[in-house]
Structure 1
Amino acid sequence: MAFRTMALVSQTYKSLGLDDPVDGITGTPQVVLSLSFVLDRLIQKNEKLMVASKLKDTVSIFHGSRAPNLSIKQYIERIFKYAGCSPSAFLIAYIYMDRLFQRTGGHLTSLNVNRLLITTIMVAAKFIDDACHNNDYYAKVGGISNAEMNKLELELLFNLDFRLFVTTEVFSKYCEQLGGATIQEYQIQRPIDPRIYESWQDMDNTRSAAKLAGYGCRPL
């Protein structure tokens, strides 16, 4: 059973394009397309739920005054095209978004998705990629100012308590989640899957601290 599970995860990993080197990618990897699909479905469900229940979302620094003109797919493909980060950074970014909502509450909506995407992807790229662009570059890609990019990065890092390490088990579970997203209904009402909830105490603090030392938190 264990070997079968490992084989399925490996297949999903490959199908999402997570095994492709950055320099060898010729098209948009499936992880980017699956993530845009999942986020779009989540937002539709969240906003319908909020209207039906007359629930007002908690406004945060990630909220804009109006919904963006670009679709989620267009925006995330733009980030992939110009940021040059690894496909895995997009999966890690999704995990960071889940962690953020677990700790702060709130809902993923059309008003906060873009700022959350550009911030989590940038932070993920800084943490796991060998090289990445600075905040000013990401700000231009995301269509915001460098000053706002800096504030968004700080807000995310402090809300995550600077805990950016992702275990292999959690990474694999999110792979499975995104891998099946385009072929079955995504049954959650908030951008959090309680089955994948992970305790901060279970993280490898030693490895996390070592990675943070090299994170740089530019331009902090």
Structure 2
Amino acid sequence: MEQPQRLELPPAFEDVDVDILAELIGDMMQRLLAHNDNIPLSPEALTRFHSRSAPSISVLDYLRRIVKFTNVEKTCLLITLHYIDQVCTRIPTFTLSSLTCHRFVITAIALSSKALCDVMCPNTLYAKVGGIPVGELNMLEREFLRMIEWRLTCTREVLQEYYINLVRTHSSSKYFIPDPLSSSGVSSDSDADMDYDMSDSRPSSPSAAGTAVALDIGLGPSTASGASTILIDTSTLSPEPPRPPTMEQNMAFAAFQQQYRGRADGDGG
């Protein structure tokens, strides 16, 4: 059987088509959600980013919608992955799942655009594109900034590493970079180095076990639980101490349980 033709992508993320970059990120996130959706939800894990049910739109189509209507910069798309690492390292109970991903993504892009771009859309547009009220987006922005301790930027080299590993780990393997230029010095995309292990170029993250990027997507060092962060140097971050669930979290968790019981009873009938 003839192998499908692979498509060559430019070595630098600045030169890749934004629609392809959205596809790469969406592909990674879809695999992440498939893994993390199996993690049981607990009261202390509930955040303002949790919705009562998963949105009907896939995360890939959601990203495409954002690209289409907000003219988002490539840097703002890629840095969303860096934010995932920051949050999951600082807050080990947080899990990017189908209940949290969409709100997380639209908030990340809205904030990164304000921090990194000379021209950005108003929150009214981001909220409309993201499918949430503008007041809720404003609240999510405040919570997001607290979670990442206002660290909205990173180096170009970090973003380049994300890009290279997104290409290498794409589920269909249909893309390749012939001579990627990265801070790690990777210089080819031959079959021999397709299993490149990023753990050689950055420290592992025992404190982030079970939180950030799903098993087997290959973007970071594995942790004891089988999950991993993508790229971040966790020695620069200070994890939040574990806190008992608040009354708001307990009430929201009870509402989740009641909703799911109602669905189960309906299916049984």
TM range (shorter): 0.7 to 0.9
3-state DSSP class of the match of 2:49?
coil
**Which residue does the alignment assign to 2:164?**
176
Q: Deviations over 1:82-128 (max 9, x none)?
A: 11111221001221122111111221110000000100011111111
Q: CA deviation at 1:135?
A: 1.1
3-state DSSP class of the match of 1:77?
helix
3-state DSSP class of the match of 2:37?
helix
Q: CA deviation at 1:29?
A: 2.4
Larger mean CA deviation between 119-128 and 108-117 belongs to 119-128
- What is the rounded CA distance, in whole Å, between the counterparts of 1:176 and 1:115 in structure 2? 26
TM-score, normalization: structure 1?
Answer: 0.73
- What is the rounded CA distance, in whole Å, between the counterparts of 1:155 and 1:75 in structure 2? 21
Runs of 4+ in 1 over 6 A off after TM superposition: none
Structure 1: where are the runs of 5+ without partners? Answer: 1-9, 202-220
- What is the rounded CA distance, in whole Å, between the counterparts of 1:177 and 1:127 in structure 2? 25
**Which residue does the alignment assign to 1:99?**
86
Q: Say how many residue pairs are matched.
A: 178
Work out which of the residue numbers 203, 225, 233 in structure 2 matches 1:197: 233
Residues 37, 97 of structure 2: 8 Å contact kept: yes
3-state DSSP class of the match of 2:69?
helix
Residues 51, 99 of structure 2: 8 Å contact kept: yes
- What is the rounded CA distance, in whole Å, between the counterparts of 1:138 and 1:199 in structure 2? 33
- What is the rounded CA distance, in whole Å, between the counterparts of 1:19 and 1:30 in structure 2? 11
Work out which of the residue numbers 110, 121, 128 in structure 2 matches 1:122: 110
Work out which of the residue numbers 6, 31, 35 in structure 1 matches 2:21: 31
Structure 2: where are the runs of 5+ without partners? Answer: 1-8, 174-193, 195-215, 238-269
User: Relative to 1, partners in 2 of residues 1:110 and 1:34: Cα closer, same or farther, differing over 3 Å?
Assistant: same
Q: CA deviation at 1:168?
A: 2.8
The answer to whether structure 1 residue 186 and structure 2 residue 217 are counterparts is: yes
The percent of aligned pairs where both chains have the same amino acid is: 29
Q: Deviations over 1:114-150 (max 9, x none)?
A: 0001000111111112200111110011000011000
**Which residue does the alignment assign to 2:140?**
152
**Which residue does the alignment assign to 1:13?**
12
- What is the rounded CA distance, in whole Å, between the counterparts of 2:12 and 2:42 in structure 1? 37
> Residue type of the partner of 2:15?
D
Cα RMSD (Å): 2.3
TM-score, normalization: structure 2?
Answer: 0.60
Point out the structure with the larger helix share.
1
**Which residue does the alignment assign to 2:131?**
143
Residues 101, 191 of structure 1: 8 Å contact kept: no
Work out which of the residue numbers 26, 37, 42 in structure 2 matches 1:56: 42
**Which residue does the alignment assign to 1:205?**
none
- What is the rounded CA distance, in whole Å, between the counterparts of 1:157 and 1:199 in structure 2? 20
Q: CA deviation at 1:153?
A: 0.5
User: Relative to 1, partners in 2 of residues 1:110 and 1:129: Cα closer, same or farther, differing over 3 Å?
Assistant: same
Residues 62, 112 of structure 1: 8 Å contact kept: yes
3-state DSSP class of the match of 1:130?
coil
- What is the rounded CA distance, in whole Å, between the counterparts of 2:228 and 2:143 in structure 1? 19
Residues 26, 60 of structure 2: 8 Å contact kept: yes
Residues 119, 152 of structure 1: 8 Å contact kept: yes
3-state DSSP class of the match of 1:139?
helix
Q: Deviations over 1:175-220 (max 9, x none)?
A: 2221212127514654623x5325448xxxxxxxxxxxxxxxxxxx
- What is the rounded CA distance, in whole Å, between the counterparts of 1:191 and 1:64 in structure 2? 24
Q: CA deviation at 1:173?
A: 1.7
**Which residue does the alignment assign to 1:211?**
none
Residues 85, 232 of structure 2: 8 Å contact kept: no
> Residue type of the partner of 1:176?
I
- What is the rounded CA distance, in whole Å, between the counterparts of 2:26 and 2:138 in structure 1? 24
